[in-house]
């Protein structure tokens, strides 16, 4: 292709399509950008309004909760008495509240809450100092521990018990009596006195601060385990465990831990001995789970008791505290990033502040769920709530985890961050429903025109390249394959003309060679002309043809022409071939080209087969040779114009159009052509033509062989 054509094509494309498209595209892009800026401004206003709506809804629901709390606190008219039943009702009526508390003199107490244990340094509930033991008890202890005279010790302990009036001392003496009987191996008497101790002094503490009822129960369980009475032992231990978790005894953390270890060590011993049935096993698991969450809750209350009093005091002396405000919202940080959410109020002018410690996680979920339900927008913006550690607390129904955040804002109570997510449909809405969307349509139109122009230009250049390549190939064929026969014919004709060929037989041979070369030139010229003619529409003349007669005539002519060249042509033609619509001349050309191709590549094995048969739907014409064959990579290209095999291009003469013409003719008949070739074993070309109306008739093969 000439460089001038490329240059002109590029200039025409640039001036006619390229530059105008770039200019109009730039203008359309500016318009879209302006539209986008207007949309962003509108969306910012929309998101700000939605954020205000969420804040108003949060404040509204908080006010409702605060009003309910204040209404219940107003019932506490007696300032000197705690209405514990009413406090319990506040807690039990809603899962939003963990507990009620009071704040007075920089101290937080839980009037309606029994904790599992209390801080060891702040345990002012249990008496840590007991009265000095009496002389009678000391004398009895001397017989028990020094003289090992247990009967005498028991007698003296009982005498001291009759003289004692203090509850704590009576509990200690009963414990000593049971212990002495235990040392005497009088287990029944020991159990009797331990049970008496549990019955009369269940919540009384010993001098060690441990509860009498719990210690006595464990001692009885020890005796039952020694006797092999595992069932009774399990009942006593689990009963003690259950009462410990019910906070029947008020213990500090150290004594609670000691008693818990005593219980668990006995349960472990029972488990090792295979004691207890499935009921007690499931009950043990239930108590262990209850212990876990109650311990966690108790530690949280104690931490709040220690940490909260400092923050509440700081709040009450700060300028944030408004005496005229009946209720105060306080968020107290802690190291675990789970803030304590507190509602604090004062009844009348009492020095006592009453407060609610909220269940922060459940409170926030409940609160924001109520906020979402109350939003009036038909298509609300997706939003989510995150705590201070960036952990999700609540997400709206349309929230997408991987979406992008458009706006976020912070709430003071509860202390969270609310993120408003960008709607995915906003981009689509902007592109197709913008008020100035004409720019987008112009941009799309320009893009389509640009692409169309590019494709058109590329197609024209590609077509020109194809024509140039075909011209080059045709010139190669004319210069080589046409020139050789002409040269040969001229030399022979010149020798005959000058009388240099002696003998009639030799002259006849020269004339025969000239005729063959003429036929060869005619065949190649016909192929070139047929290739040009078949590229046009309406060149075929289809008519109903008797395929059997058509193939008989074709094979007879082929055998006459090729027999003298030493070829053995075998024809296997079925006798039940139908009438079908074909172009007889074109189909004859196709089969002839296949036979000619088989002749060229047969080599030394001059055997050719022609098989014609049918099935219910198709007619098959197969031309088979046993020559050189083709490599698999060549088989994909043999039907291209001017293509010639790599191994035979130098040895076999031809135009390179024969198989291309065959393919065009077969496809014009709505058929297919297939090739199956093995290097060194020959090739098989199969023409498959549709029959049209299916027929189910079996037939015989007509066979004609001529050597």
Give the confidence band of 124 by pLDDT, cuts at 50, 70, 90: very low
- Which of the four pLDDT bands, split at 50, 70 and 90, describes residue 130? very low
Return the SS3 of 687. Answer: strand
**Regarding predicted confidence, which is higher, 3 or 669?**
669
- For the beta sheet containing 618-625, the strands, ordered from the edge strand earlier in sequence to the opposite edge, are 672-678, 682-690, 618-625, 607-614, 568-574, 701-706
Q: Residue 9: its pLDDT value, please? A: 66
Structure tokens given for 162: 């009759």
Is-contact 531 665, C-beta < 8 A?
no
* Higher-confidence position of 425 and 272: 272
CA 93 to centroid of chain Cα atoms: 42
Q: What is the DSSP string of 357-415?
A: EE-HHHHHHHHHHHHHHH---SSPPPEEEE-TTS-EEEE-TT--TTPPEEEEEEETTTT
Q: What is the mean pLDDT of residues 592-620?
A: 86
**Quick one: residue 222, left, alpha or beta (phi over 0 = left, psi -120 to 50 = alpha)?**
alpha
pLDDT band at 114 (very low <50, low <70, confident <90, very high): confident
Query: Cβ atoms within 10 A of the Cβ of 549, count?
Result: 11
Q: DSSP letter at 564?
A: G
Q: What is the pLDDT confidence band of residue 65, given thresholds at 50, 70 and 90? A: confident
Q: Which residue has the tokens 């006195």?
A: 193
Say whether pLDDT at 358 is over 60.
Answer: yes
Q: Is residue 238 over pLDDT 90?
A: yes
Evaluate if residue 546 carries a pLDDT over 80. Answer: yes
Q: Tell me, what's the pLDDT at 135?
A: 86
The answer to whether the bond into 209 is cis (omega within 30° of 0) is no
The pLDDT of residue 694 is 40
32-36, 553-557, 577-581, 585-589: lowest mean pLDDT where?
A: 32-36
Edge-to-edge strands of the sheet including 405-411? 392-395, 383-386, 416-421, 405-411
Is the pLDDT reported for residue 338 higher than 70?
yes
- CA 79 vs. chain centroid, Å, equals 61
pLDDT at residue 272 tops 90: no
Which pTM was predicted?
0.53
Which H or E element spans position 574?
strand 568-574
Look up residue 309 and give its two tokens: 């009093």
Rounded Cα–Cα distance for residues 536 and 181 (Å): 125
pLDDT band at 649 (very low <50, low <70, confident <90, very high): very low
Q: Would you state the pLDDT for residue 227? A: 92
pLDDT digits (tens, 9 = 90+) for 656-675: 677 888 888 898 888 999 89
Choose the most confident range, by mean pLDDT, from 510-519, 655-664, 682-691: 682-691
Domains and CATH numbers, the chain: 540-706 (3.30.565.10)
Read off the pLDDT of residues 497-513 as tens digits, 9 standing for 90 and up.
777 778 878 777 777 77
Average pLDDT, the chain: 78
| % of the chain at pLDDT higher than 90 | 21
Split at pLDDT 50, 70, 90, the class of 379 is: low
Confidence of residue 291 (pLDDT cuts 50, 70, 90): very high
What 3-state DSSP class applies to 500?
Answer: coil
- Which residues touch 489 (CB under 8 Å, ≥6 apart)? 514, 517, 518
**Distance between CA atoms of 175 and 170, rounded to whole angstroms?**
9
Would strands 543-546 and 416-421 be described as parallel, antiparallel, or unpaired? unpaired
User: Across residues 270-280, what is the average pLDDT?
Assistant: 72
Q: What residues contact residue 541 under an 8 Å CB cut-off, 6+ apart?
A: 583, 585
- CA atoms of 598 and 166, how far apart (whole Å): 129
**Which residue did the predictor score with more confidence, 508 or 694?**
508
Average pLDDT over residues 367-391: 78
Structure tokens at 236: 């006593």
**Would you state the pLDDT for residue 298?**
92
Q: Which residue has the higher pLDDT, 480 or 224?
A: 224
CB contact at 8 A, 218 and 263: yes
């Amino acid at each position: 292709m000439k460089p001038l054509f490329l240059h002109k094509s590029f200039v025409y494309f640039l001036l006619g399509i390229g530059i105008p498209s770039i200019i109009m595209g730039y203008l359309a892009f500016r318009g879209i950008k302006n539209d986008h800026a207007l949309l962003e401004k509108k969306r910012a206003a929309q998101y700000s309004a939605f954020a205000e709506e969420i804040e108003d809804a949060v404040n509204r629901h908080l006010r409702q909760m605060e009003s309910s709390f204040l209404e219940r606190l107003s019932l506490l008219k007696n300032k000197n008495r705690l209405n514990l039943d009413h406090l319990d009702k506040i807690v039990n009526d809603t899962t939003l509240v963990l507990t009620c508390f009071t704040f007075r003199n920089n101290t937080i107490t839980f009037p309606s809450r029994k904790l599992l244990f209390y801080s060891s340094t702040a345990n002012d509930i249990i008496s840590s100092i007991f009265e000095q033991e009496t002389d009678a008890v000391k004398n009895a202890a001397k017989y028990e521990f020094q003289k090992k005279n247990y009967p005498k010790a028991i007698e003296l302990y009982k005498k001291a018990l009759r003289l004692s009036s203090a509850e704590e001392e009576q509990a200690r003496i009963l414990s000593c009596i049971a212990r002495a009987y235990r040392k005497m191996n009088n287990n029944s008497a020991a159990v009797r006195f331990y049970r008496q101790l549990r019955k009369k002094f269940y919540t009384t503490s010993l001098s060690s601060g441990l509860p009498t009822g719990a210690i006595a129960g464990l001692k009885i369980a020890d005796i039952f385990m020694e006797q092999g009475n595992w069932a009774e032992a399990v009942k006593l231990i689990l009963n003690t465990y259950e009462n410990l978790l019910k906070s029947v005894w008020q213990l500090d953390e150290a004594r609670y831990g000691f008693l818990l270890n005593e219980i668990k060590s006995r349960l472990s011993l029972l488990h090792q001995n295979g004691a207890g049935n499935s009921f007690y096993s499931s009950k043990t698991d239930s108590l262990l789970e209850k212990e876990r969450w109650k311990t966690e809750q108790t530690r949280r209350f104690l931490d709040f008791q220690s940490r909260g009093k400092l923050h509440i005091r700081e709040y009450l002396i700060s300028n944030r505290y408004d005496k005229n405000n009946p209720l105060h919202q306080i968020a107290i940080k802690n190291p675990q990033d789970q803030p304590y959410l507190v509602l604090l109020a004062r009844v009348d002018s009492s020095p006592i502040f009453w407060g609610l410690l909220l269940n922060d996680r459940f409170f926030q979920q409940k609160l924001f769920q109520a906020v979402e339900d109350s939003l009036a927008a038909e298509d609300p913006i997706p939003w989510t709530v995150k705590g201070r550690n960036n952990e999700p607390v609540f997400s709206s129904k349309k929230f997408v985890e991987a979406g992008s955040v458009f706006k976020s804002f912070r709430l003071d109570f509860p202390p969270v961050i609310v993120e408003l997510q960008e709607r995915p449909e906003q981009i689509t809405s902007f592109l197709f429903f913008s008020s100035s969307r004409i720019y987008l349509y112009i941009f799309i139109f320009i893009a389509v025109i640009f692409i169309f122009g590019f494709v058109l230009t590329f197609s024209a250049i590609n077509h020109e390249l194809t024509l140039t390549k075909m011209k080059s190939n045709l010139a190669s064929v004319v210069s080589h394959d046409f020139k050789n026969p002409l040269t040969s014919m001229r030399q022979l004709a010149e020798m005959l003309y000058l009388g240099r060929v002696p003998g009639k037989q030799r002259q006849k041979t020269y004339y025969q060679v000239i005729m063959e070369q003429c036929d060869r030139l005619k065949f190649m010229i016909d192929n070139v002309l047929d290739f040009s003619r078949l590229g046009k529409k309406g060149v075929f003349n289809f008519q109903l043809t008797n395929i059997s007669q058509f193939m008989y005539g074709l094979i007879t002519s082929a055998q006459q022409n090729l027999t003298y060249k030493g070829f053995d042509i075998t024809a296997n033609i079925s006798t039940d071939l139908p009438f079908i619509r074909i172009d007889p001349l074109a189909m004859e050309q196709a089969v002839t080209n296949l036979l000619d191709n088989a002749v060229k590549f047969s080599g030394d094995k001059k055997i050719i087969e022609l098989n014609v048969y049918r099935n219910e739907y198709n007619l098959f014409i197969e031309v088979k040779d046993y020559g050189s064959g083709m490599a698999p990579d060549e088989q994909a290209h043999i039907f291209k114009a001017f293509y010639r095999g790599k191994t035979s291009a130098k040895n076999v003469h031809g135009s390179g159009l024969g198989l291309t013409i065959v393919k065009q003719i077969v496809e014009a008949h709505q058929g297919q052509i297939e090739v199956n070739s093995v290097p060194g074993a020959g090739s098989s070309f199969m023409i498959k033509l549709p029959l049209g109306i299916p027929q189910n008739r079996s037939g015989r093969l007509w066979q004609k062989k001529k050597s």
